[in-house]
Amino acid sequence: MSTQTVPLRGITRPQFSRREFLKGTGILVGTLWASSTALITLAPSRVWALELKVLDERTGNALLVFTRQIFPHAKLDDAVYALVVKDLDAEAAGSAEVKKLLTEGAAGLDKAAGGDFKAAAKEKQSEITASLAKTPFFEKVRSKAIVSLYNNELAFAHFGYEGNAFQRGGGYLQRGFNDLKWLPAPSAKASPAAFTG
Amino acid sequence: MTTYSQGDDSVVVVIGSGAGGGTLANELCKQGVKIVLLEAGKRESPATFINDEWASFGQLAWLDKRTTSGSWRVAKDFSGLPAWICKTVGGTTTHWAGASLRIHDHEFRARTVYGEIKGANLLDWPLTLKELAPYYSRAEDKMGVTRTHDVAGLPGNNNFKVFYNGAVKVGYKNCNTGHMAINSRPRADRASCQQYGFCFQGCKSGAKWSTLYTEIPAAENTGKLELRTECHVARIEHDDNGKVTGVVYFDKDKKEQRQKARVVCVAGNSIETPRLLLMSTSGKFPDGLANSSGQVGRNYQRHTTGSMYATFNEPVHMYRGTTMAGIVTDEAVNNPKRGFVGGYELETLSLGLPFMAAFLDPGAWGPQFTEAMDNYVNMAGLWIVGEDMPQASNRVTLNPTEKDQWGLPVPNVHYDDHPNDIALRNHAYKQARAIYEAVGAKKTYEVPPYPSTHNLGTCRMSAKPSDGVCNKWGQTHDIKNLFISDGSQFTTGAAENPTLTIVTLAIRQAEYIGMQMKVQTI
């Protein structure tokens, strides 16, 4: 079986060009945290960039921080949250209504933070996020994030989910399906030995 | 490939190719009966199945528009998705976990054994375990159910180890890797289980029984089957005498087609089956076909379900291996001292990271939720399958305003939990928590019901025509040549995963239909 490249869904090496700026859309840039060891082995480089189709950079950054507030994983790298922004941006590209909702929502975050949501204190971000619960803007971001944030190879690596066994060339029969050692093994009657012939 | 003309009124039309329809089609073909099998979905194969939860959901799930109402939590969490079932050749046998349990003797006599329960429309089945036992045995052999017919049990995975140790500590006596229609050894031209961990996404090795690669190719090999895929049946037609004469369907080019039939068997799962009967109104049958009792669509049952996930200090990796890896059967008894009638099974279950996020606590956000997800690797889980009370008001109806892509009224699924259901679920949550706490759970999570996979009872069988839709062979009381061939037939839901019983009833129904055709009563 051939090995497949792990898809990173748009996380690329930064490739700045004038085009992004001419279009007036944004590009999110970051550096994988030194602690994100599982991600560093998967990503093409430590520095990552994500080009947005219709949302501007300020909106993109506000959405990223807002998503982190909704689903706060202290040790989860910004690069994974950026994938949620990417999917929100893709939806906004197909719907003027969604674009408006996200752009205005992000502007509202900045306004509530007294100018810059991203730069506000964590407590302030948290307070603003909670005050928006159940609003259409919040629900749009939450419902996108609940899928996007946990449905990509970077998240799988971070959370320790090995996922697609078939793609790796065989089932967990040969790779630890019953390797738990901190409890006694069940009786052979309850759990017969595996057939490996 | 065998083909039949649309005007051939000697064929039997089977609608739906899942556990009921796929099995029935094969069993009839083996008798030499000509079958046109209409399936709304496309034909996949183990090679095309996808080990990716969301992508597979898009490939296999029935995603046509549906609506919900009632106080059940599914209506709030998944208002457009009352059921997690499949639109594909093989139906939900592509998705099922493989648990194959016989309904217990007392459960066939629910009304007699449980007595009068306020608000419940309980009824005894018009057949007994004794009558069904030989057919159960044939179904188990056909499906290769472990711990029957000398088929060895499956090896337990890590999720099972946690479950088993907890179950033993709380005193349960009956915990093992269960009766599963998953090959523990190569059998019947199918490979043995490789523990991929994607049972719900279609089995890549074919170790898990599905009509897709067992019954349907076997039926094709008889030369008697014509399978038409991507054909959505819109209406069943009848003549002046009230016998059905054929079906009208939309083919894959969205063109309306009409197939004549000598007999029509409906196996569209417990939402589509009553929907089709209700859509087939006429001057003679203004309330839909086979509905003189008014019971078509009523008594919708979905099992009282729920899940318990627990986090530990040590890794579990529950997603490695069979999705449903073991069972505790001790609670599947009727012991009203627990505060409810009927019983429940506890079965291990795992979800991958994407679906754990989607199902752990739908709508949730914030640190409590993310803390659970942070502990995903250290998580074990189980599913509760309990008997729910049939209620006349829990029903599938035609939505008066919403239409699907064919312009047909979408089904609305209404469900309210009965107080007995709630008492049962709470008891099961308590026991499940005790299992995990006995082996050191840090935190436990009560997870609300997923969209229904066990949809039952909406065309139930009954001794008396006034109580139900079909007789003990699934033949409708009103129309001799119209049959119900899926879980809609269930008089009550029992506590067991329903597929084995659906297959068993299909084997038995095929014998009956073959015989009735021979003696020309249909």
Give the tens place of pLDDT for each residue, B431-444: 999 999 999 999 99
What pLDDT does A23 receive? 55
Q: Work out the average pLDDT over A20-40.
A: 80
Top pLDDT among B339 and A12 is at B339
Judged on CB neighbours under 10 Å (0-12, 13-18, 19+), B7 is: exposed
Q: Which two tokens stand for residue B343?
A: 């019983």
What pLDDT does A41 receive? 87
CB B212 within 8 A of CB B352: no
Q: CB of A171 within 8 Å of any CB in chain B?
A: yes
Using CA atoms, how far apart are residues A143 and A133, in angstroms rounded to an integer?
A: 12
**B132 to A31, B135, B490, B506: CA distances (angstroms):** 65, 5, 13, 11
List of chain B residues whose C-beta atoms are within 8 Å of the C-beta of residue A193: 155
Task: Fill in the amino acid letter for B383.
Answer: W
pLDDT in tens, chain B (522 residues): 899 999 999 999 999 999 999 999 999 999 999 999 999 999 999 999 999 999 999 999 999 999 999 999 999 999 999 999 999 999 999 999 999 999 999 999 999 999 999 999 999 999 999 999 999 999 999 999 999 999 999 999 999 999 999 999 999 999 999 999 999 999 999 999 999 999 999 999 999 999 999 999 999 999 999 999 999 999 999 999 999 999 999 999 999 999 999 999 999 999 999 999 999 999 999 999 999 999 999 999 999 999 999 999 999 999 999 999 999 999 999 999 999 999 999 999 999 999 999 999 999 999 999 999 999 999 999 999 999 999 999 999 999 999 999 999 999 999 999 999 999 999 999 999 999 999 999 999 999 999 999 999 999 999 999 999 999 999 999 999 999 999 999 999 999 999 999 999 999 999 999 999 999 999
Using CA atoms, how far apart are residues B220 and B7, in angstroms rounded to an integer?
A: 21
Using CA atoms, how far apart are residues B427 and B340, in angstroms rounded to an integer?
A: 9
Q: CB of A162 within 8 Å of any CB in chain B?
A: yes
Q: Which of A67, A135, A144, A182 should one mutate to test binding to chain B, selecting the residue with the greatest count of B CBs within 10 A? A: A182
**B303 to A170, B121, B163, B423, B497: CA distances (angstroms):** 34, 15, 22, 13, 9
List of chain B residues whose C-beta atoms are within 8 Å of the C-beta of residue A156: 353
| Portion 32-51 of B in contact with A at CB < 8 A | 51
Q: For residue B198, which of A6, A178, A167, A185 has the smallest C-alpha distance?
A: A167
List of chain A residues whose C-beta atoms are within 8 Å of the C-beta of residue B354: 147, 150-151
Q: CB of A172 within 8 Å of any CB in chain B?
A: yes
List of chain B residues whose C-beta atoms are within 8 Å of the C-beta of residue A146: 357-358
Judged on CB neighbours under 10 Å (0-12, 13-18, 19+), B2 is: middle
Using CA atoms, how far apart are residues B204 and B194, in angstroms rounded to an integer?
A: 9
Give the tens place of pLDDT for each residue, B216-237: 999 999 999 999 999 999 999 9
Does A195 contact B185 at a Cβ distance shorter than 8 Å? yes
List of chain A residues whose C-beta atoms are within 8 Å of the C-beta of residue B161: 178, 180, 183, 185-186, 191
Does A192 contact B52 at a Cβ distance shorter than 8 Å? no
Beta bridge partners of B379: B311
| Portion 286-315 of B in contact with A at CB < 8 A | 314-315
What pLDDT does A10 receive? 52
Angle value at C-alpha B373, between B371 and B378, nearest 5 degrees: 95
Q: For residue B211, which of B190, B232, B236, B184 has the smallest C-alpha distance?
A: B190
Other C-beta atoms closer than 10 Å to the C-beta of B385 total 29
Q: CB of B351 within 8 Å of any CB in chain A?
A: no
Q: CB of A1 within 8 Å of any CB in chain B?
A: no
Using CA atoms, how far apart are residues B287 and B280, in angstroms rounded to an integer?
A: 8
* CA dihedral (A170, A174, A177, A182) positive or negative: negative
Q: Work out the average pLDDT over A135-151.
A: 98
CB B308 within 8 A of CB B497: no
Q: Work out the average pLDDT over A62-75.
A: 98
What pLDDT does A11 receive? 54
Give the tens place of pLDDT for each residue, B308-335: 999 999 999 999 999 999 999 999 999 9
- Chain A residue closest in CA terms to B318: A177
Q: Which two tokens stand for residue B31?
A: 């008798």
**Those residues with Cβ within 8 angstroms of residue B386's Cβ, 6 or more apart along the chain or in another chain:** B303, B304, B305, B342, B343, B344, B345, B421, B424, B425, B428, B495
In the predicted model, is pLDDT for residue A2 greater than 70? no
Alpha helices by DSSP H, listed for chain A, are 18-23, 37-40, 57-70, 78-94, 96-112, 122-132, 136-148, 153-159
What pLDDT does A197 receive? 77
List of chain A residues whose C-beta atoms are within 8 Å of the C-beta of residue B197: 165, 171-172, 177
Matching residue, tokens 């429309």:
B121
Using CA atoms, how far apart are residues A45 and B363, in angstroms rounded to an integer?
A: 35
- A126: distance to nearest CA of chain B, Å? 10
Q: Mean pLDDT for chain A?
A: 89
List of chain B residues whose C-beta atoms are within 8 Å of the C-beta of residue A185: 161
Helix (H, G, I), strand (E, B) or coil at A38: helix
Q: CB of A182 within 8 Å of any CB in chain B?
A: yes
Q: CB of B192 within 8 Å of any CB in chain A?
A: yes
- Chain B residue closest in CA terms to A138: B365
Write the DSSP string, B309-327: EEE-SS---TTSS-SS--E
Q: CB of B316 within 8 Å of any CB in chain A?
A: yes
**Those residues with Cβ within 8 angstroms of residue B462's Cβ, 6 or more apart along the chain or in another chain:** B123, B126, B293, B295, B468, B469, B470, B471, B477, B491
What pLDDT does A7 receive? 40
Using CA atoms, how far apart are residues B305 and B382, in angstroms rounded to an integer?
A: 11
CB B15 within 8 A of CB B261: no
